[in-house]
Amino acid sequence: MSKKAALMCLIVSLFMASLFTLKVSAATDYTNGAETSGTTATIWFKSNVNTSWVDVHYQVNSGAQQNIRMTYNASLARYEQKVTPVSNGQVITYSFTYNNGTPAYDTPSFNYTVGSSTGGGATGITSGATYKLINTNSGKALDVNAAGTADGTNVQIWTDNGTVAQQWKVTANADGSYTLTNPNSGKALDVSSSGTADGTNVQIWTPNGSGAQKWQITKNADGSYKLINTNSGKALDVSGSGTADGTNVQIWTDNGSGAQKWQFVQVTGGGGGSTGSIYSISASSIPAPTGSGVMTFKVMNGTNGAYADNQIYWGVIGKNPAANDQWSYLDLAGNLQPISNALNDAPGHLTKNGVNYANIYHKVSDASWASLPKITAGRLFLCLGTPCYIKTFDTGFAGPSLTNPTDPNRDVYFDFIEFTVDAAGYHGNTTRVDGFGFPIQHRLINKAGNFDQTVGELESETRAGIFTKYKNEVPSQFTSLATDQAPYRIVAPINGSFAAGGPNANYFAGYSSFSTQDILRCDGSVTNAQTCAAINRHVYTDSNWNIVGNYYKAAPANYYAKFWHDHSINGLAYGFAYDDVNGQAAYLEIGDPKGAIIRVGW
């Protein structure tokens, strides 16, 4: 026999031997899933046992099966295989062969539809959806004690009462685990001090991406779910299998008892209501756009009775790319209508102090949803009690000016968001660059169902509470910003005492050679985004430009901006022009937008 033939016989013999030593896998050995970014899908396998190799066997739709040794991703502690190109709707069928020491094991087959939420693991749980978790033993809900919002607030069980203290937004992580965030506080379900011992307490804490806040969600045979903390490997557990209101929630060794079983009940709002939580509106209730609309959006009344739906006005102005970037406003039918000088005197115009202004506004009571076509440089103006007074021209518009003492909007409660809808999708943000009028939440959902994010102030923050906290939390140089134009708004530093000639005009002197005004505006001599951000955050003279935990640790710093980060969802806010440096801005974008919801708070 030739050496080549002998070698082939040896290979075949080894291959056949491996086939006869394969075993059926244990579900506790691993977690797995699939996810999509652009046109690339990633199949992943994360082992809980002694694994040194993993093979994946997959096919796309009815294509040929591929059998490939997976690559280990050390940063995510998992094995991965990229599949590209893929498109929404394609079905990837996959299974694995892996080792646990010497023996090899085969897994069952799994299916993943491209464009759906993360595959594998938590069957029936939708990433981005909001749920209440009902313990099967007690029938009571997973609850944040006294609807608290502070780090370390305890988590317990309590009679289901429908409040946001009992709601949890479930978000899939890249490693196949999930993070549960309470929408009332914006804080994550967290194991205290990253503990691993039985009985370690569970609380809420600012999201930090640690294993203490990551949970494997696995469906039980009876349809309930167990939540296993990835750091400790222990289950979310009701202490002592208790059933009374206030019974503590902890982690405990997985034992399959009712104390560790949870029903996930999705919170739905049907899209019709105009009050309550922004998370109460289910993604499935968002209607399709009409006409030339790319997506739909909704302005939501979250003022808790301070203003009726017919007292909340909104208007959109932006450039129409379908009409050579003509400045236009959005009508209720979802069409962009050109603005002009003549619009100020058109039928139905607004008048204040004898001056006419264009009426481009609609009320929350006028429509639940509106279609939004492609538009650039868009602003959604939000006004309470009365519309805003904006002059339109053939070539643009004159929006509210906070530095003009005679501006007609000086005594109007208003705010706005900025956005663009173009070929690349939706790009938008809330902003505190100019000032604060009232709390806003801004939520964006995509068509594929794998993006649902919210930015803005925490829902638990009231307008009066923000004014009080601002005065108590910022240094003395910044407090006047809450009184200069009270009760209507808190102004940004450049619109108050930090302007040229003001008492704080040289606030940054000694720390930087740039003028305080250029620093706050990020213009003039400070147009470099990273430099401007570093000075505002007081990390300009050290190496901590990208370490968020070191921002605003010493004066001089833009403590106005810091305040909004401290009181916003996930700490994201636009406190100055380049606050997006290092991903700190309240910015949302997605390529396939389905709907946007803007909640007006009070």
Average pLDDT, the chain: 89
Q: What is the mean pLDDT of residues 483-508?
A: 97
Q: Does residue 237 carry a pLDDT above 70?
A: yes
| pLDDT tier for residue 481 given thresholds of 50, 70 and 90 | very high
Q: What is the mean pLDDT of residues 300-311?
A: 86
Tokens of 144: 């944040």
pLDDT at position 21, please?
39
Q: Does residue 423 carry a pLDDT above 70?
A: yes
Q: Look at 396 and 28; give whichever has higher pLDDT.
A: 396
pLDDT at position 5, please?
39
Q: Are strands 425-430 and 587-590 parallel, antiparallel or unpaired?
A: antiparallel
pLDDT at position 9, please?
37
| CA atoms of 392 and 384, how far apart (whole Å) | 20
Give me the percent of the chain exceeding a pLDDT of 70: 92
Over residues 104-149, the pLDDT tens digits come to 888 877 777 776 544 444 556 777 778 899 998 998 999 999 888 8
| CA atoms of 359 and 346, how far apart (whole Å) | 8
- DSSP output for 391-436: EEETTEEE---TT-TT-TTTTSEEEEEEEEEETTEEEEEE--SSEE
pLDDT at position 503, please?
98
pLDDT at position 548, please?
94
Q: Would the pTM of this model clear 0.95, i.e. be above it? A: no
Please give the backbone phi and psi of residue 344, each rounded to the nearest 5 degrees, phi first.
-65, -25
Q: Look at 340 and 305; give whichever has higher pLDDT.
A: 340
| pLDDT tier for residue 434 given thresholds of 50, 70 and 90 | very high
Over residues 16-57, the pLDDT tens digits come to 333 333 444 454 577 778 877 777 888 988 888 889 999 999
pLDDT at position 417, please?
98
| CA atoms of 207 and 151, how far apart (whole Å) | 10
Q: Look at 471 and 171; give whichever has higher pLDDT.
A: 471
pLDDT at position 123, please?
55
pLDDT at position 405, please?
94
In sequence order, the β-bridge partners of residue 401 are: none
| pLDDT tier for residue 188 given thresholds of 50, 70 and 90 | very high
pLDDT at position 104, please?
83
Q: Look at 584 and 264; give whichever has higher pLDDT.
A: 584
Residue among 391, 204, 369, 394 at smallest CA distance from 281? 369
| pLDDT tier for residue 479 given thresholds of 50, 70 and 90 | very high
Say which range, 41-45, 161-165, 241-245, 295-299, has the weakest mean pLDDT.
Answer: 161-165
Q: Does residue 296 carry a pLDDT above 80?
A: yes
Q: Look at 291 and 393; give whichever has higher pLDDT.
A: 393
Which residue ranges form the domains of the chain, and what is each CATH number?
Answer: 3-113 (2.60.40.10), 130-266 (2.80.10.50), 278-461+587-601 (2.60.110.10), 463-566 (no CATH)
pLDDT at position 17, please?
35
pLDDT at position 270, please?
34
pLDDT at position 120, please?
46
Burial class (CB in 10 A: 0-12, 13-18, 19+), 92: buried
| CA atoms of 173 and 177, how far apart (whole Å) | 5
Over residues 53-72, the pLDDT tens digits come to 999 999 998 788 899 999 99
Please give the backbone phi and psi of residue 28, each rounded to the nearest 5 degrees, phi first.
-80, -10
Q: Look at 220 and 355; give whichever has higher pLDDT.
A: 355
| pLDDT tier for residue 87 given thresholds of 50, 70 and 90 | confident
